[in-house]
Amino acid sequence: MSEPIRLNPPLTDEEVMKLRAGDQVLITGTLYTGRDAAHKRLVDLLDSGEPLPVDLAGQIIYFVGPTPSRPGQSIGSAGPTTSYRMDAYSPRLIERGLKGMIGKGSRSKEVVDSMIEHKAVYMAAVGGAAALISRKITSCEIVAYEDLGPEAIRKLEVTDFPAIVVNDCQGNDLYEQGIEEYRIA
């Protein structure tokens, strides 16, 4: 098994183009959070020609609604949420320069096509490991939509945040590759 690839957002097209489905990555730097309610608001802003509350160019969005932090911690449990709920909105954000998304589950053909066209990747974080993942988050601040509670957009600072590339910008899909690898002829 090869060493994990280290990523430090914001990401460039060149960095994203080197990633392949199945690559293990460790992310250090800034991640933004967002779930479906926040994604809808972002796309509504784009539709009305208004600026976004955060510059998504080169950034990664982690699909998470963290629990409140305990005393002395920067964040509570922070496990990934199911990604398909963002599928209606993700292509618009990818067009605006979003380079990565982290969640769990498969993505739609429209999202995959947008990742190929605009050079972005989708990564999976391990579901069920929310408490362990939260240890990789060193700070957390709400930057937009505080009224959404756990679904507010947060700016996370992370160190060696683990993820696995599921969909790369060449059209490869780790989930499909896994099925093929174990298919009985």
Per-residue pLDDT of 98-137, as tens digits, reads: 999 999 999 999 999 999 999 999 999 987 677 778 889 9
**Percent of the chain whose pLDDT exceeds 70:** 95
Query: Do residues 120 and 101 make contact, with C-beta atoms less than 8 angstroms apart?
Result: yes
CATH of the domain at 158: 3.20.130.10
Please say if 39 is a catalytic residue: yes
Dihedral class, residue 135 (left if φ above 0, else alpha if ψ from -120 to 50, else beta): alpha
| 3 state SS of 8 | coil
Q: Report pLDDT for 183.
A: 66
pLDDT at 128: 67
Q: How many beta carbons lie within 10 A of that of residue 65, not counting itself?
A: 21
CA proximity to 121, closest of 72, 178, 168:
168
Of residues 177 and 142, more confidence is placed in 142
How many CB atoms within 10 Å of residue 27?
Answer: 27
Summarised one tens digit per residue, pLDDT across range 21-60 is 999 999 999 999 999 999 999 999 999 999 999 999 999 9
Residue 108, exposed/middle/buried by CB under 10 A (0-12, 13-18, 19+)?
middle
Contact 174, 44 (CB under 8 A): no
Quote the pLDDT of residue 21. Answer: 97
The pLDDT of residue 79 is 82
pLDDT for residue 70: 81
pLDDT of residue 71: 82
- DSSP H stretches of helix in the chain: 13-18, 36-47, 90-95, 109-118, 130-134, 174-182
The Cα 137–Cα 167 span in angstroms is 24
CB of 154 within 8 A of CB of 143? yes
Determine the pLDDT at residue 1: 62
Q: Give strand pairing partners of 124.
A: 103, 164
> How many structural domains does the chain have?
1
> 150 preceded by cis ω (within 30°)?
no
CA distance 126 to 147: 28
Domain that holds residue 25: 5-182
- pLDDT, position 68: 82
Which one of the listed residues 9, 15, 36, 39 is annotated catalytic?
Answer: 39
